[in-house]
Amino acid sequence: MIKLLVHLSRIFVGAMFVFSGFVKLVDPIGSQYKFEEYFGESVLNLEFLIPYALPFSILLILAEIMLGVMLLLGFKSKLTTWSLFGLTLLFLFLTWYSAYYNKVTDCGCFGDAIKLTPWETFYKNVILIALIILLLIRMKDIKELFSKKITVLLTVVCLLSFSYITYHVLNHLPIIDFRAYAVGKNIPEGMEYKGDGEIPPVHDFMLEDTQNDLAPEILAMKKVMLVIVYNIDKSNKEGFKAVKEVADKAIQKGYKVYGVSASFEDDLILMQNKHNLPFDFLFCDETTLKTMIRSNPGIMTLSKGTVTGKWNWKDIQDIEL
């Protein structure tokens, strides 16, 4: 009976870590933003770590998913199980801190795929800790599923595959988009209150000029292109030459093109003049822009409020209008 319980715990814990790691692996920049929030002054007050949020996120994601794979394979059971215990203990502290002090409303443990409250995530980690302690006590029952050579080969193949996925999404866009601004999603529908007390998935969405919010007008248009630059100081300046080319092409095809940023107007005007950009900039909340697209600059096309396309600036040559 106890061996069956250990076996089931091994499968549950391993699968949980693989799933949790994978939904973050396809969007590591989302985890970067979450750790920047944790490192901020209002949470852990470790602002000196903010510049390292992305590499920290990548290492943690790879560790999480690989430990799950290794547990399922039974590879290096002692190292794997103790590492899982330490990692879960870290998550347990972070989620308790977030829940108790109401610092971070969404811990990001399942990326944007599944939203849990800090307390829900804390109790999930309590269960995981209990199951991992059982695995530590009964470590002798964790056996390799295959021969040593096959187990090592599968581990290496998984590590290389996951590393490549990380490299790909960092240079393009997430291969799976769980957010409310994914291709095919309708932004006005995402802004609707359902009457259940929950905040709608699309909120703080405004496209403001110096006087008005133009979002309702823009979301009613049939052919719109948004050039999103959430922060001009952090943007990749190489991308603006390509942005100008695709914007000129879009205007010829009948698109209404707008830049959208949270940066200061004077800085945007300087950039607009420097690169001879054929559009004006509107203002939107930086967090909203980071949620809309994981590229700076990035391109999004809309048709009557429905997202019809999203591209990293490096993939602008793939845009067909």
- Which residue has tokens 């993939």? 315
* Chain mean position to CA 43: 20
Contacts of 135 (CB under 8 A, 6+ apart): 6, 9, 10, 13, 71, 81, 84, 142
Separation between Cα atoms, residue 193 and residue 130, nearest integer Å: 39
Shared domain check, 314 and 221: yes
Tokens (6 digits) for 303? 């048709």
Residue 182 included in any domain: no
Instruction: Give the pLDDT score at 309.
Output: 96
- In this structure, how many other beta carbons lie within 10 angstroms of the beta carbon of residue 4? 9
Instruction: Give the pLDDT score at 108.
Output: 61
Instruction: Give the pLDDT score at 16.
Output: 94
Residue 178 included in any domain: no
Shared domain check, 141 and 72: yes
Residue 220 included in any domain: yes
Tokens (6 digits) for 292? 């809309």
Which domain covers residue 89, as residue numbers? 2-171
- Indicate the DSSP class of residue 141: G
Residue 278 included in any domain: yes
> How is 36-96 classified by DSSP, letter by letter?
HHHHSTTTT--GGGGGGHHHHHHHHHHHHHHHHHHHHHTTTHHHHHHHHHHHHHHHHHHHH
Contacts of 80 (CB under 8 A, 6+ apart): 67, 70, 71
Residue 180 included in any domain: no
In the beta sheet, which residues pair with residue 308? none
Instruction: Give the pLDDT score at 223.
Output: 97
Based on C-alpha coordinates, what's the Rg of the chain? 22
Shared domain check, 205 and 247: yes
In the beta sheet, which residues pair with residue 224? 256, 302
Tokens (6 digits) for 98? 């977030």
Shared domain check, 22 and 145: yes
CATH number of residue 203's parent domain: 3.40.30.10
Shared domain check, 239 and 134: no
- Indicate the DSSP class of residue 227: E
Contacts of 241 (CB under 8 A, 6+ apart): 275
Residue 176 included in any domain: no
Q: Using DSSP, state whether 283 is helix, strand or coil.
A: strand
Q: Using DSSP, state whether 188 is helix, strand or coil.
A: helix
Shared domain check, 244 and 106: no
Q: What is the pTM of this model?
A: 0.89
Contacts of 33 (CB under 8 A, 6+ apart): 53, 290
Shared domain check, 151 and 227: no
Mean pLDDT by 10 residues, the chain (321 residues): 89 95 93 87 85 94 96 95 94 84 68 76 92 94 92 97 96 93 96 82 90 95 97 92 95 97 94 94 95 96 97 92 83
Number of domains composing the chain: 2
Shared domain check, 212 and 165: no
Instruction: Give the pLDDT score at 61.
Output: 95
Domain end marker among 171, 202, 225: 171
Residue 179 included in any domain: no
Domain end marker among 171, 202, 236: 171
Domain end marker among 139, 171, 203: 171
Element (H, E) at 125: helix 118-137
